[in-house]
């Protein structure tokens, strides 16, 4: 079968981006906001537990030295960093002990990726609490569905890094009211870069992080 493309043909990334970027706050059901709030509480609990871990401390120190100061909070401290810096530091605290939420459909941990990034983006955008929770719900919906669409039998790793970024991009695009073409381009970049990243090789290197592929702490 030959797929014939024309000017009206839309790729999946474009259709998804249009759906996300055209969503209104009122389109997000209360049940989704309630679920998002529980996920946020879960991430906070995981972050508190992991905050003082050696690995989380190393990541925070790196973020402090590498990223610029900004308006996004480093959780459980009086520090503020750029959006990217705070998201990375907080994500490390949430995920380091591997007690963060998990999705059976996605075979991974969406919260540690989506929630810290969404909160940092929401702070930078001056968003309300409802807008933040809406962004979290959108990020989960996009990321988990993309992850669940994969053929798990053919994966070389279940790493959340392979699909979590789709949710972050969707949450950020919605919060900032970006044009769908921007989100579509971001999704294509992730689709190109992430499958090529050497995650399985990195998992075998000696680090303070949990070696997921071998079930070792």
205: confidence class by pLDDT, cuts 50, 70, 90? low
201: confidence class by pLDDT, cuts 50, 70, 90? low
Q: Domain map of the chain by residue range?
A: 27-150+157-197
Cβ neighbours for 108, distance < 8 A, ≥ 6 positions apart: 102, 147, 158, 159, 160, 162, 163, 164
What distances in angstroms separate CA 100 from CA 45, 111, 160, 183, one per listed residue?
8, 7, 12, 27
For residue range 25-63, list pLDDT tens digits in order.
899 999 999 999 999 999 999 999 999 999 999 999 999
For residue range 140-184, list pLDDT tens digits in order.
999 999 999 888 888 777 778 888 999 999 999 999 999 999 999
pLDDT for 215 equals: 39
Kindly report the number of other CB atoms within 10 A of residue 32's CB atom.
17
Q: What is the fold, at CATH topology level, of the domain defined by 27-150+157-197?
A: 2-methylcitrate dehydratase PrpD (1.10.4100)
């Amino acid at each position: 079968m030959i797929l014939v493309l024309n000017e009206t043909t839309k790729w999946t990334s474009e259709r998804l981006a249009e759906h996300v970027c055209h969503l209104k706050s009122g389109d997000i059901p209360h049940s989704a906001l309630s679920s998002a709030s529980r996920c946020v509480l879960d991430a906070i609990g995981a972050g508190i537990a992991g905050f003082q871990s050696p690995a989380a401390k190393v990541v925070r120190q790196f973020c402090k030295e590498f990223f610029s100061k900004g308006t996004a909070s480093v959780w459980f401290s009086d520090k503020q960093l750029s959006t990217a810096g705070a998201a990375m530091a907080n994500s490390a605290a949430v995920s380091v002990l591997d007690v963060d939420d998990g999705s059976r459909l996605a075979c991974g941990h969406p919260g540690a990726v989506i929630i810290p990034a969404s909160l940092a983006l929401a702070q930078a955008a001056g968003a309300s609490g409802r807008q933040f929770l809406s962004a979290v719900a959108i990020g989960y919906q996009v990321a988990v569905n993309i992850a669940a669409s994969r053929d798990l039998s053919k994966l070389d790793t279940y790493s959340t890094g392979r699909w979590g970024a789709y949710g972050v991009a969707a949450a950020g695009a919605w919060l900032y009211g970006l044009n769908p073409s921007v989100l579509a381009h971001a999704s294509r970049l992730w689709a190109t870069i992430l499958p090529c990243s050497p995650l399985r090789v990195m998992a075998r290197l000696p680090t303070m992080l949990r070696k997921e592929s071998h079930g070792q702490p």
